[in-house]
Structure formats: structure tokens, C-alpha cells
Chain A
Amino acid sequence: MNVERIRQRSDIVRLIRRWFDERGFLEMHTPRLVGLPGQEPHLDPFWSVVHEADGASRPVAFVTSPEYAMKRLLAEGMDRIYDLGPCFRDGEPWDGTHDPEFLLLEWYRRDAGLEDLMRDTEEMVRWVATESGYTSLVPMLGPFRRMTVSEAWNAYVGIDLDPLLDDREAMADTCRANGQTVTDADTWDDLFFKIFLTGIEPRLGEEPTFLYRYPVSMAALARPCADDPRFAERVEFYARGLELANGFAELSDPVEQRKRFEEERALRQKLGKKTWPLDERFLGALPKMGNVAGIAFGVDRFIMWLTGATSINDILPFPARERFED
């Protein structure tokens, strides 16, 4: 264990809290154990069983993110809230960039959009870097690079993304032309990722970069863009080649949300994964949530960035490899 890194970790987490506290954000302590976890088709919660004293029992899951609880709190009238705590995801690679238990920061603002999330992220990152003294890896001048997903496709692989939206066959042809394999089971999103992960993400390089305006199919909890509903108000933040954050101008239409949840649940079924009922309390709260924007930010990867650690295992006291392997 690198004890110095663990001290740095502590400094950074304390400063993150201070940044939010000093700006009037309230820290929420949302539950880690829930009955109905997020059902993103490609995330797998850990399940357990809770027993009451009389022996009655029911299944519970560890949260993959605090998102549903945070949105319900917003619907109860909260504004400017954050949550900073461990989240849990099963089935992820222990490859130096993931741990099944990781520290996730989420924050939300009312009457806000992607611009506000990008500005918050930039300011918070720079402030924490400055206060902690770990400034050498964070560019301090000018705004962080901002690109739409379409701009990134043009810039790195020379492909015009817009005509490919909603056209699986055209996307499949583009994949083949770029040397990728295509199978019948590949969805449009899968084909998008094959090109994105091969030709775009690795070329974003070290520079902190916001990628925004995602195809609407890839943004299950985001509002469609007002000027072009084929895209949605989603932003991802990359630095040192790693995805650090994922944010949305949040969808508050319960009818559309229900439709997307049902599609996601159908996809889980198709993938042979466990399914569970839709969270009706969450859906019922959405109309009261109003116009909010929120972002989930990976604190472990942020610590890696600031300290120059190349593996998540260097900044965790007891990484998965160590605690679960003999």
C-alpha cells in the first residue's frame, strides 16, 4: 500500500466536500441498500437479502449510483444537492480503472443545463487541485476542451455521424469500412461504441475534455435537445484518457421515462440478465422534479488524475484484487 497516496486521497475528498459546502450545496446521505436499484442494461447490482426480526425477508441491492434517490429528493423541493459515497457494480474488470466498490460524487442543480454542469466541473476540479497543491497535471488556463459527439466523430475518424443516426444498416457499413466486426446481434449503440472505443476515445488524449450531445438512444435519463430531438442533453468528461463523469439535463417526463425503462428492462431480459419491477415511486416523483441537471463524477479516477497514479489500486486502501484474491 502506498500510504502517501491514501493521505492524498483523504485531502482531496475533504476538499471536494468543502467546495460544495461553501457554495450552498447540501450533502445528502442517500441509502446504499435499496429495493429497486437502477436498471441500466449494462450495469449489474450486487444483491443481498434483508431480514426483519420476525424472519420476513426481501431482496435488496447495493446502489450502482444514488441517482433515483437524489431525484426524489429534488422532487421533494431540494435544490443544489450532492451525494458523496461508495457505489457498487458487479461484473466489471479489475484492470486498474475499476473497483467493484468505488467512490461516486453526484450533484444536481435546479433550472440548470449542461453548461452549468461543465462550469461546475471545471471550477471544482481546478479549485481542489489548487487547494491540495496537486496542480501539475491539471491545465489551469482557459476553459477545458468542449466538443459535441458529432464533432469528435468528424475530428478523429472523419465520419459524419448525423446521417447515421437511426440507420443501423448505414452504421454497420461504416463499421465494416473501418475494419470492425459486425454481427447480427449488434445494436446501433454497439456499433457506435466499436468505432468510438477504437478510434475516438483513445485519441482524446491527456487533455481534459467534455463530450456532449449524445445520440438520444444513448441517454436514457436525459432530455432530448430542443433543436434536434435525435440528440440528448448528455455530457461526459474525460481526462488522461479516462471517463471521469457523466451528466444529464434530466428527463422529467414520466411517460417518456417509463417507455425508456421498459425498453431497458426488455434489453436486460434479452441479455439474459436479472430484471425487477420499475420503481413507481421514482416515476411518480418525476413530474414534481422540475428542470434539473445532474452529473455523476468518479472520485477515485479524479484522485488518480491529480496524484498521477496510473492505477486505481494505488489510491485505494485495499483494492479488490487484494481483498478478494488469496
Chain B
Amino acid sequence: MASPNEIKKGIVLLHNGEPWVVTEFQHINPGKGAAFVRTRIKNAKTGRTLEQTYKVSETIEIVEVDYRNAQYLNHDATGYTFMDMGTYDQYTMSDDEVGDQGKYLREGLDVTLTMFEGNPIALQFPRKMNFRIAETTPAVKGDTATGNVTKEAKTDGGFVVRVPIFINEGEEVVVNTDTGEYVERAKKE
């Protein structure tokens, strides 16, 4: 038995006798109420998703799963393929299973696969990753006066992130892969 405080992305809960992967979670303190953890969970077998709110003081059952270190190889029509560099076993996860996280994957990235009954059901990788800004508009005078302190920028990963207006094309930035948000300018090595 475990506490909902231990809920993290990628862990597997037993809910109504079935394994569900936590895909999103948020701690909530309504102030006038007890503390809760709001989750979105995905059935490890059927892929169905549910929203579920647990009180922090209740107990939940966390399913023991294996974790396997692997490297991202490539993406094709079958989905995303990873390789365990120790055993050379390959694993594939479908686009649906990987979801929005897929945009952060790049060849050779080290990831941790959550394995349930021999199959990968969830994927973890660094929370902070560097990306180069491939495309963005230059800051325009007067932007800050009208409240525009961020702008859209396209990264070398192909996805769009909101960055402060002072960020220019070609710069490297740190992105939080949990929230999809800009964190800071990447430190120069």
C-alpha cells in the first residue's frame, strides 16, 4: 500500500483490479479542504483514460514494474523504437502510447522504459533538455509596453515553445519536458 503522495508520471496503479499508468498528476490544496492529487490515468491494457482524484491520506496500490534503460532509435509507421543497449532487445511504443512526449525524442536519447508484462507502457526521460531555437521572430520595440514578453519559437526538435522576447534564433534554451515550458537560456559549456 502506498500514499497518493508517491504518485509520479509513469508509475502504475492498481485501480479496480487493473493496472493503470499515471500520465498526468497535480497536487491540489483547496485550502478549505483536504489535500488531493488529481490524476489522469491510462489503462495499461486497453489504453482507456480516466480522471481520478485521490485524497492524500487514502492508500493506493502501486504495481511493481520493471524499468529498463534504453536508447531511442527512430520513429516510423509502427511508432517509436527503443533499444536496450545491454541486451540489444528492441521495443516499440505506438504514437498513442508515447503521446505528446514524442516531440522531445531525438536519436540516441537515453530513456527509461516502464515495463509491464514484458511490454513498455510508459517512458521517462530528463525533465530538462536543451534545444536550439531554429526559428523565431526578432523582438519588436514596444513589445514589453503592450505586455508581450514572450513569443513563439520553433526548436530544432520541430515543436513550438514560448520563450522570452530576448531569445534569438540559434540560441540554445532549456525546456521543461513535463510542462513544455521554457526554463532558461542554456548555459554555455
User: A residues near B, CB below 8 A?
Assistant: 2, 4-5, 8, 40-43, 91-93, 95-96, 98, 132-136, 179-181, 183, 185-186, 189-190, 192-194, 197-199, 202, 218-220, 243, 246, 271, 306-308, 310-311
Contact = CB atoms under 8 A, between A and B. Distances in A.
B132 interface: no
B55 A186 contact: yes
Given A95-B26, A310-B179, A310-B181, A183 B32 contact: no
A93 B147 CA distance: 29
A306 B34 CA distance: 29
Interface residues of B, number: 31
B149 A5 contact: yes
B17 to A, nearest CB: 13
B36 A197 contact: yes
A181 B54 contact: yes
A186 B181 contact: no
Interface in B38-96: 38, 50-55, 57-58
A42 B30 contact: yes
B147 to A, nearest CB: 4
Interface string B121-141: 000000000000000000000
A306 B146 CA distance: 11
A199 B181 CA distance: 26
B164 A2 contact: yes
Given A197-B53, A198-B38, A308-B150, A4 B32 contact: no
Given A42-B34, A95-B26, A193-B30, A185 B164 contact: no
Contact of B147 (A2, A96, A134, A220): A134
B7 to A, nearest CB: 12
Nearest to A296: B31
Contacts of A243: 30-31
Contact of B52 (A183, A193, A198): A198
B152 to A, nearest CB: 12
B26 A190 contact: no
B179 A96 contact: yes
Contacts of B181: 310-311
Contact of A92 (B29, B33, B52): B29
Given A2-B149, A4-B144, A185-B58, A98 B29 contact: yes
B27 interface: yes
Interface in B95-132: none
B160 to A, nearest CB: 14
Given A134-B147, A190-B33, 20 more contacts: A2-B164, A4-B144, A4-B149, A5-B149, A8-B149, A42-B31, A42-B32, A133-B145, A183-B55, A190-B34, A193-B30, A193-B36, A193-B53, A194-B53, A243-B30, A243-B31, A246-B31, A246-B32, A271-B57, A311-B181
